[in-house]
Structure 1
Amino acid sequence: MSNFSFSPQCSTPGRACHDKKGKCTKEYLCCPQTLKMSSKLVLYDRATNIKFIRIGSDYKNTYRFYELNLTSNNHATHDNYARWVFFDQTLRDLFEMPNARFWQSIVNCLQSYGIVYAYVPLNATSITANISALTVLTRQKSLFDDLYICYMVTRKEHRRRGLGTLILQQIVQRALDEQRNGIKHVTLHVNTLNTVALELYERCGWRCYQYLPTYLDPDPHHATNHAYALILHLEKVKNVTGLCRNTNAVDINPQHDRQSIENCRRVPAQLRE
């Protein structure tokens, strides 16, 4: 963290600035400048006590990529509550599921081993209220060779612009960097009717290894509560920057294709092309 210049940065979580430009308080946070105008490597949201740490260069001069550092202060209980509310509301917004319940799963995912990445438009006046794409990860508590994708979602109007691919590349790079800590796989669960997501993951090297009927929360926001369990074997990754774009980026074991067909009754997207 010593390489980052740090100072508190105002934000507008879901509220307009109106005439309070530049005024920053615990109750009312305001950010009068766009992210494009800010050269800071670290932005700080006082409402949730989250640091947004800038990663890499801007994507197509349109989006900025951040890792969300879940810091804490003396009011840890308040911090956690505000943080869980923020992620719960953000996921409802991104998924367009106003009645969904993400609270408990977010707590389980983030409270011990959480990792969060997000893309934000450069013309956004609020880093918290204008997230374009978000992923929430955790290291499996009972199986430390696993980096697990709890959620990955792109806002509807920002889809098909390559953000999902870039996030997956970042996830895999993070997992590769943590191989020295025992990480060997990247896993996730996908709704069986979410064909767009399934084809993206398969194109990027993931394979289904288990069909799980009634695995998902039975709340009505799910199209079905059946899920597929998917896995990417890090030892098979040959080129992270080519992931999702180059068929040679991951050396798929034919056995894993057969496993997908036999266990999940799902033919991987590449075999159907």
Structure 2
Amino acid sequence: MFLSICFALLLLIVIVPCKSDYSVYYCSNGRPAFSIFNVSTFTFSAQCSIPGRSCYGKKGKCSKEYLCCPRTLKMSSKLQLYDRATNIKFIRIGIDYKNAHRLYELNLLSNNSIMYDSYQRWFFFEKTLRDLFEMPNARFWYAIINCMQNNGIAYVFVPLNATSITANISAIIILTRQKNSFDNLYICHMATRKEYRRQGLGTHLLQQSIYRALNEQQNGIKYISLHVNTLNTIALEFYEKCGWRCYEYLPKYLDPEPHHTTNHVYALKLNLDNVKNVTGLCRDPDAIDIKQSDNEKSIENCNRIPTQLEK
């Protein structure tokens, strides 16, 4: 009897802190404690361990709550940085933008598991998009996983004065190779933090994506496509000035969620054959050669006259 009571108390000490609600577990550095995310059921379970020991092969030490806390990924001059918590490698690209922001390509490393993945990775993307879109209650989980697990590509800008790379993303673009369209790279999300908008970060991310697509032309890539909310006129005009043209109107395409101003979208695409000068894109009207037929299709299919750069 005495042993049974002791065993029950021991279970309470160890198990009580390990609840299934992932939003509860924040470490002192602001990052959530390690957890396992089940892709098939969209459920979470915290990883618990004995204090002081490594957690499931992670090098981070466990906190007093018996949860493993990931370390802060600090800015560095290294060409590659590895975030153990998310299993993402940050690969530095080119020189720093205006001596203020550093561009990284995100390499999502495999954890050799089909059914499970560390939710730290998906939490990082969702929190980043929530912050940049200023939508604290939006849920990006399904869209992120669907995009990134389908040959996803991501580029981010990080301020040079950032104390934490994962917590201070200034701009992001996420692309994927769509399964049903082998000649197309699709932009799932692109966003810039409010205080860094109108500084050219979004344009630079688009240019980087076009370079990537041009390098994959030998693999059959011909277009870069995306969907834009029909009421998001700022985004529509921006993409059109950069060479995208609307080819289809899709009513009720988006799920009816509160953060969507409308669930109607325009489908836009950029023909890579039209690109003449990537570095001049979005700024120089001669950087892209838009065919008159593309403008006519935009008017016919989307009832929209494309916005163009003035010569």
- TM-score category of the 2 structures, normalised to the smaller one: 0.7 to 0.9
Q: Report the counterpart of residue 25 of structure 1 in structure 2.
A: 60
Any residues of structure 2 matched to 1:120-199 within 5 Å, and which?
Answer: 120-199=158-237
8 Å CA contact 2:73, 2:166 repeated in 1: no
Q: Report the counterpart of residue 3 of structure 1 in structure 2.
A: none
d(CA) in 1 for partners of 2:310 and 2:200? 22
Q: Report the counterpart of residue 270 of structure 1 in structure 2.
A: 308
Q: Which runs of 5+ in 1 are unaligned?
A: 1-11, 17-23
Once the 2 structures are TM-superposed, how far is the Cα of residue 60 of structure 1 from its aligned partner? 0.9
8 Å CA contact 2:192, 2:202 repeated in 1: yes
8 Å CA contact 1:13, 1:129 repeated in 2: no
Once the 2 structures are TM-superposed, how far is the Cα of residue 96 of structure 1 from its aligned partner? 1.1
Deviation track 1:134-192 (CA, whole Å, cap 9, x = no partner) reads: 11100111111000000000011110000000001001111000000000000000001
**What secondary structure is seen at the aligned counterpart in 2 of 1:175?**
helix
d(CA) in 2 for partners of 1:256 and 1:39? 44
**What secondary structure is seen at the aligned counterpart in 2 of 1:123?**
coil
The one-letter code of the counterpart of 2:108 is L
d(CA) in 2 for partners of 1:13 and 1:248? 48
d(CA) in 2 for partners of 1:158 and 1:249? 25
d(CA) in 2 for partners of 1:77 and 1:183? 30
Instruction: Pick from 39, 56, 59 the counterpart of residue 94 of structure 2.
Output: 56
**What secondary structure is seen at the aligned counterpart in 1 of 2:297?**
helix
Q: Report the counterpart of residue 256 of structure 1 in structure 2.
A: 294
8 Å CA contact 1:187, 1:232 repeated in 2: yes
The one-letter code of the counterpart of 1:213 is P
Q: Report the counterpart of residue 47 of structure 2 in structure 1.
A: none
1:231 aligns with 2:269: yes
Once the 2 structures are TM-superposed, how far is the Cα of residue 40 of structure 1 from its aligned partner? 0.5
Q: Report the counterpart of residue 203 of structure 1 in structure 2.
A: 241
Once the 2 structures are TM-superposed, how far is the Cα of residue 265 of structure 1 from its aligned partner? 1.1
d(CA) in 2 for partners of 1:239 and 1:41? 27
8 Å CA contact 2:283, 2:309 repeated in 1: no
Once the 2 structures are TM-superposed, how far is the Cα of residue 85 of structure 1 from its aligned partner? 2.0
Once the 2 structures are TM-superposed, how far is the Cα of residue 75 of structure 1 from its aligned partner? 5.9
d(CA) in 1 for partners of 2:124 and 2:73? 21
Compared with structure 1, are the counterparts of its residues 204 and 271 closer, same or farther at alpha carbon in structure 2 (3 Å cutoff)? Answer: closer
> Aligned pairs, how many?
252
8 Å CA contact 2:126, 2:141 repeated in 1: yes
d(CA) in 2 for partners of 1:54 and 1:272? 34
Once the 2 structures are TM-superposed, how far is the Cα of residue 270 of structure 1 from its aligned partner? 1.6
Compared with structure 1, are the counterparts of its residues 70 and 271 closer, same or farther at alpha carbon in structure 2 (3 Å cutoff)? Answer: closer
The one-letter code of the counterpart of 1:90 is T
The one-letter code of the counterpart of 1:28 is C
d(CA) in 1 for partners of 2:179 and 2:223? 14
Once the 2 structures are TM-superposed, how far is the Cα of residue 13 of structure 1 from its aligned partner? 6.8
Compared with structure 1, are the counterparts of its residues 246 and 256 closer, same or farther at alpha carbon in structure 2 (3 Å cutoff)? Answer: same
Q: Report the counterpart of residue 42 of structure 1 in structure 2.
A: 80
Deviation track 1:51-101 (CA, whole Å, cap 9, x = no partner) reads: 110000001110000000000235665544321222122211211112212
Compared with structure 1, are the counterparts of its residues 142 and 76 closer, same or farther at alpha carbon in structure 2 (3 Å cutoff)? Answer: closer
Once the 2 structures are TM-superposed, how far is the Cα of residue 31 of structure 1 from its aligned partner? 4.2
8 Å CA contact 2:284, 2:309 repeated in 1: no
8 Å CA contact 1:13, 1:128 repeated in 2: no
1:95 aligns with 2:133: yes
8 Å CA contact 1:44, 1:51 repeated in 2: yes
**What secondary structure is seen at the aligned counterpart in 2 of 1:176?**
helix
d(CA) in 1 for partners of 2:221 and 2:29? 35
The one-letter code of the counterpart of 1:89 is K
Q: Which runs of 5+ in 2 are unaligned?
A: 1-27, 33-58, 62-67
d(CA) in 2 for partners of 1:74 and 1:88? 22
Q: Percent identity?
A: 66
d(CA) in 2 for partners of 1:112 and 1:40? 28
Once the 2 structures are TM-superposed, how far is the Cα of residue 28 of structure 1 from its aligned partner? 2.9
**What secondary structure is seen at the aligned counterpart in 1 of 2:279?**
coil
